[in-house]
Structure 1
Amino acid sequence: MRILVTGAAGFIGYHVSQRLLERGDEVLGFDNVNDYYDPTLKEARLERLEQHAGFGLMRASLEDREVVERAFRVFKPERVVNLAAQAGVRYSIENPRAYIDSNIVGFINILEGCRHHSIEHLVYASSSSVYGANTRLPFAVDHDVDHPVSLYAATKKSNELMAHTYSHLYGLPTTGLRFFTVYGPWGRPDMALFLFTRNILAGKPINVFNHGHHRRDFTYIDDIVEGVVRVLDRVPAADPDYDFGHATPAASAAPYRLYNIGSDRPIELMKYIGLIEDCLGRKAECNLLPLQPGDVPEAHADVEALRRDVGYAPTTSVETGVRRFIDWYRAYYRV
């Protein structure tokens, strides 16, 4: 297939693109390679993707409507994986407009491209952050998500609503994936595993928020990619018999689906730090701090729907995943 992957220079986008190329798909990557974090890491990812004859790249922002339209018109994708977004909960408090530009304006441009070019299936990134102030665990896709605690989360909830509208009005098949704390080789430098590893190796203290009482559903990148690709290959169908009297946010009469994608095995942050220490052979100096604005203290993904519909079964233990990341980090940065 011809597949448009936005955010192809990003962590998840790079790995998804690699998998699609390896199985023989043609991929057009779309990325503005911004400096939210070190662009040299993004360029290194792209360099590896460009080794595949089936990969092309457009360097542009999603909010550039004309360039997005050109990507659809020229490449003629059959399916789209939208992973480009302004990421980060804490950054959204400092720079809210960046999230409106990329996550709202950019997403409507993707939806319009899909609508006008008869795309078979749009798979897009949502986030576990949409659960916000919800305290029911594990988080399930039929739970209330009307109380976001960051603008980032609000933009992702908005994406889900926008996608449903296009599925309803135009019959566009869409599937949203609520990602839970993804980690692994080639990961994002602004996330905990990367930050902790870098500081521990440098002999610097690490900032541990909520005094270390976080619990997170850390999900290894290979398991995430497997889920994304399985979902991409399963196009949702309309359900004319859908009962809106017993509606769930996860489904509709329209060709629309929502899934959690996580490990379903949450662990305490301090245990996670302990695994990093064991792999590095060094102890961390922890700077214990209060809960950050926009953060939630606990996350646990109920992935039963994804398991039922596409056979999703995460297999990578957190011990194995942390070891693989640190092996990559040491080799990449030669430390």
Structure 2
Amino acid sequence: MRILVTGAAGFIASHLCEKLVAFGHEVVGLDNFNDYYSPDLKEMNAKDLEAKGVFIFRVDLNDDLSKVFEKRYDYIYHLAAQPGISSDTTLEEYVINNIYATQNLLDAVLAYNPNLKSFVNIATSSVYGIEATVDETIPAQPVSFYGSTKLAAEQLVLGLQRLGKLKACSIRLYSVFGPRERPEKLYTKLIENLYKDKPFPLFEGSVKHERSFTYVGDIVDGLAAIISKEDLVDGEIINLGTDEVNTTQEGITAVEQIMNKTLIIDNKPPRKGDQQRTAAVIDKAKKLLNYEPKVTLKKGLEEQVRWYKEKFID
């Protein structure tokens, strides 16, 4: 199979590319290498992927995509997005990179690649709102620009599916962590600050937040399982995470134990748009994809600390 993965040089997508290559598929990546976080980290991921035979188009999804579609694809995994809930990111940036970019990609698919087996949209538990503890039948109630624009992107994809123009599904991910995690996210930032003895910014109340922290390897196993099941998942929204729930404090404590260091805390006011609790309901993923997350928080964090040490310390 020939598979296109957008956002390929990023955290989850780079792992997915490697998994698909390991299964013997021809994988083509796409990434705009923007400066939301250090392009050097994306270049590091890209170099590893290219060494494994993944060609990466360096193009923005809002630009002309005709060259990307000079070849036809069997599947597209759409992971590229404007992530996070940073107050430094404007609504316009979320709209451009999550809504307009998705629509431009969909237009290109309809124009150049109409016989696609499946368009796999990667969504987020943030669409559920403050409490992401429900199954896929519950209406979304996003409270952030990120969640709102990702929900809009999801509906652009599923709208075409409902019109019979595209086979597609949307996968809502829960609190993914592991090697290559973005530097502004919890665990990479936590590990870095512990290594460097730097104060860690902790938003008021966040230590009590509960999360379905899901190891990236489990996530990509679930995503890869969609191949050959496209008819089964067509039109479906599927939660992908772990049903194991931990508090942020439990995660901090685990990293402190792994690294045998104590975190210096820099207390900050509450952050607007933060979810209070996520608990992935994954019955549908288990049924349709035979999905079964295996990696515990502690084991996954050991892998993430090992990766960080290998890439940035040794």
Q: Give the shorter-chain TM-score range.
A: over 0.9
Q: Does structure 2 retain, via aligned residues, the 8 Å contact 1:8–1:31?
A: yes
Letter in 2 for 1:228: L
Distance in 2 of aligned mates of 1:24 and 1:198 = 35
Distance in 2 of aligned mates of 1:223 and 1:158 = 26
Distance in 2 of aligned mates of 1:273 and 1:279 = 10
Give the number of equivalent residue pairs.
Answer: 311
Give the drift of 1:163. 1.4
Give the drift of 1:140. 1.3
Give the drift of 1:291. 2.6
Counterpart check, 1:316 vs 2:295: yes
Corresponding residue of 1:177: 171
Give the drift of 1:290. 3.6
Give the drift of 1:286. 2.0
Letter in 2 for 1:191: K
Distance in 2 of aligned mates of 1:76 and 1:327 = 38
Q: Choose from 217, 220, 223 the match for 1:225.
A: 220
Task: After superposition, give the CA deviation of every residue in 1:181-223 in whole Å (9 maximum; x if it has no partner).
Answer: 1111111101000111111111112122233111111100100
Distance in 1 of aligned mates of 2:73 and 2:104 = 15
Distance in 2 of aligned mates of 1:106 and 1:62 = 5
Corresponding residue of 1:200: 194
Q: Does structure 1 retain, via aligned residues, the 8 Å contact 2:179–2:303?
A: yes
Corresponding residue of 2:90: 95
Q: Does structure 2 retain, via aligned residues, the 8 Å contact 1:123–1:232?
A: no
Give the drift of 1:156. 1.0
Q: Name the SS for the 2:266 alignment partner.
A: strand
Structure 2: stretches of 5+ with no match in the other structure: none
Q: Does structure 2 retain, via aligned residues, the 8 Å contact 1:174–1:236?
A: no
Corresponding residue of 1:82: 78
Q: Does structure 2 retain, via aligned residues, the 8 Å contact 1:115–1:170?
A: no
Give the drift of 1:180. 0.7
Q: Choose from 155, 158, 181 the match for 1:161.
A: 155
Counterpart check, 1:333 vs 2:308: no
Distance in 2 of aligned mates of 1:56 and 1:159 = 26
Give the drift of 1:57. 1.5
Distance in 1 of aligned mates of 2:23 and 2:55 = 16
Counterpart check, 1:105 vs 2:84: no
Q: Name the SS for the 1:259 alignment partner.
A: strand
Distance in 2 of aligned mates of 1:288 and 1:217 = 23
Task: Provide the TM-score with structure 2 as the length reference.
Answer: 0.95
Letter in 2 for 1:285: I
Structure 1: stretches of 5+ with no match in the other structure: 238-250
Distance in 1 of aligned mates of 2:66 and 2:12 = 23
Task: Provide the TM-score with structure 1 as the length reference.
Answer: 0.89
